[in-house]
Structure 1
């Protein structure tokens, strides 16, 4: 049984091999977020109860009726495909290494989510809130805040990407309200802690993998995400695989009109492992390019992540020491990205 090192320790990855059990997508719960827009508190609590079941039993769920305009997503994908078609030299003008706060372009194999692998087969554009250098938090050296790096081409790239990110951040606030209800907290419990969230968005392009596939070099190796939760939109063929409790890889195919939500390591820590941060990976065997847009939603940089009182008792003592949210994410970036290694060269 193989293991993967995550931010919360070593995790089993199930049996080796690339085969997955093909099950109906209902194996991963579908939650209708329309209830979170209801004026009826009881209806909103029902959504919270469904989220609690999903987060404790699976760690993944789909959401529908989420309120994100599909045209915003379409515009983001259109300009992103044009960006990734640029020459490598032009894309590398904004190489992520040239950013002080982890923004910009990451070429193939720049990232290695599973330390036991040989690099991830995707390229990426990373961004977050476009915060000026004069912002007090930027001046204070909080390195998850700051300006983005933007390419010279294509036209309209910046506006389309920021419009999409804004919509996903809005969805993130709704999900945090549902998380609060799921944990038996006041619905607005997390709101003061996410007024300036470290909401890191990526646009990912996966080339197809053909023929014999090396298990140690796939789209993204087995890993768990760093932040509180991930909002993922999938555009294309099925490639995302989720590890179930029995150690079997289960497909999480794209479903029109939905997002995939999964718990991250930070939320697992915050809930004292009540919510499970589930291992997952990406293998693009479709024969086509695959694109996806994940938003990794975390709280304000200075938020202290320590097991919530409602998630501990005499039989469940705190499993993790307190840690500042921003410092935790930065430590995970340091372990994952080639450019952040001491031997990395300047581009």
Structure 2
């Protein structure tokens, strides 16, 4: 009998939770009633690379998505599709390695918890390879090299392509940060000196599940994020859902774009839905 839930892979980058916000009160926007969403908006962010008017239009679309959904797709983001495909391929080949070889990269062997996380004995059913960066005092590439990495013999090209993807996604994340600032009628660099750490990234693999199991043992149980925001790429297996203000679960269908999830209790006061759960 084939598994009810197939194996799937995701690439996730989180902008850090460590934000210095000492003047947040003046940022408050007029509260607007949230409407129950039935789908996830797709936003063309090519304007973020254009003139001031184009950037403002993207910021307005992101503001609306944050107020009413708390989650949105972004297309025309500028990251090479070939790089994404290469990173996904590298991740899949890594997770296909024998467990004993992956455990040589156990995250507990590193000071910054960067490395391999095996499937837990209880709770969420997934494994991941994590890039942890630490304090924002040097370049992101230098910071993530403190991680433990598989050898070239074990995973040819893995470190090179993962670092290249991390750099591209990190640069995009700061573009997204600038859009959040513009959405609040602030300078586009407002959050640059508020971020105390660099983004972290996870390559995640959810093994196939052969039967319906409860929330406690799902690939990842229902939750909200605590980081500034999360950027997610998921493969072709439909697995992600969001809960709207009516308590209904809405599919976030896998399409060939990136997905952005705003944090729990967003530090910028966008009057988010109380049900920004996925």
Unmatched runs of 5 consecutive residues or more in structure 1: 1-6, 8-24, 111-117, 139-143, 281-347
Residue in structure 1 matched with residue 21 of structure 2 by the alignment: none
Asked if the contact 2:127–2:206 (Cα under 8 Å) also holds between the matched residues in 1, the reply is yes
SS at match of 1:261: strand
Unmatched runs of 5 consecutive residues or more in structure 2: 1-16, 18-36
Map 1:248-327 → 2, pairs under 5 A: 248-256=248-256, 258-265=257-264, 268-272=265-269, 274-276=271-273, 278-280=276-278
| Residue 210 (str. 1) matches residue 223 (str. 2) | no
Tell me: CA distance 1:180–1:275, structure 2 relative to 1, closer, same or farther (3 Å): farther
Asked if the contact 2:43–2:75 (Cα under 8 Å) also holds between the matched residues in 1, the reply is yes
Deviation at 1:273, TM superposition (A): 6.1
Aligned equivalent of 2:48, options 24, 30, 36: 36
Asked if the contact 1:94–1:149 (Cα under 8 Å) also holds between the matched residues in 2, the reply is yes
Asked if the contact 1:101–1:145 (Cα under 8 Å) also holds between the matched residues in 2, the reply is no
SS at match of 2:238: coil
Report Cα offsets for 1:209-244 as digits up to 9, x if no partner: 223322321000111112101110111211011111
Asked if the contact 2:181–2:190 (Cα under 8 Å) also holds between the matched residues in 1, the reply is yes
Asked if the contact 1:30–1:61 (Cα under 8 Å) also holds between the matched residues in 2, the reply is yes
| Residue 200 (str. 1) matches residue 211 (str. 2) | no
Deviation at 1:102, TM superposition (A): 1.8
Residue in structure 2 matched with residue 126 of structure 1 by the alignment: 130
Aligned equivalent of 1:84, options 87, 95, 111: 95
Asked if the contact 2:79–2:168 (Cα under 8 Å) also holds between the matched residues in 1, the reply is yes
Q: Please provide the CA RMSD for this pair.
A: 2.5
Residue in structure 2 matched with residue 225 of structure 1 by the alignment: 225
Tell me: CA distance 1:159–1:209, structure 2 relative to 1, closer, same or farther (3 Å): same
TM-score by length of 2: 0.78
Asked if the contact 1:94–1:105 (Cα under 8 Å) also holds between the matched residues in 2, the reply is yes
Residue in structure 2 matched with residue 60 of structure 1 by the alignment: 71
TM-score by length of 1: 0.63
Asked if the contact 1:107–1:122 (Cα under 8 Å) also holds between the matched residues in 2, the reply is yes
Q: Distance in 2 between matches of 1:235 and 1:85?
A: 16
Deviation at 1:136, TM superposition (A): 9.7
Residue in structure 1 matched with residue 20 of structure 2 by the alignment: none
SS at match of 2:104: helix
Q: Distance in 2 between matches of 1:146 and 1:72?
A: 19
Q: Distance in 1 between matches of 2:85 and 2:220?
A: 24
Q: Distance in 2 between matches of 1:136 and 1:218?
A: 34
Residue in structure 2 matched with residue 179 of structure 1 by the alignment: 180
SS at match of 2:222: strand
Deviation at 1:137, TM superposition (A): 5.6
Residue in structure 2 matched with residue 167 of structure 1 by the alignment: 168
SS at match of 1:191: coil
Asked if the contact 2:63–2:270 (Cα under 8 Å) also holds between the matched residues in 1, the reply is no
Deviation at 1:86, TM superposition (A): 1.3
Asked if the contact 1:263–1:276 (Cα under 8 Å) also holds between the matched residues in 2, the reply is no
Structure 1 segments (4+ residues) deviating >4 Å: 135-138
Higher relative contact order (CA 8 A, sep 6+): 2
Asked if the contact 2:77–2:172 (Cα under 8 Å) also holds between the matched residues in 1, the reply is yes
Tell me: CA distance 1:276–1:174, structure 2 relative to 1, closer, same or farther (3 Å): farther
Query: How many residues matched?
Result: 236
Residue in structure 2 matched with residue 236 of structure 1 by the alignment: 236
Q: Distance in 1 between matches of 2:87 and 2:223?
A: 26
Deviation at 1:182, TM superposition (A): 1.0
Residue in structure 1 matched with residue 13 of structure 2 by the alignment: none
Asked if the contact 2:236–2:255 (Cα under 8 Å) also holds between the matched residues in 1, the reply is no
SS at match of 2:247: coil
SS at match of 2:47: helix
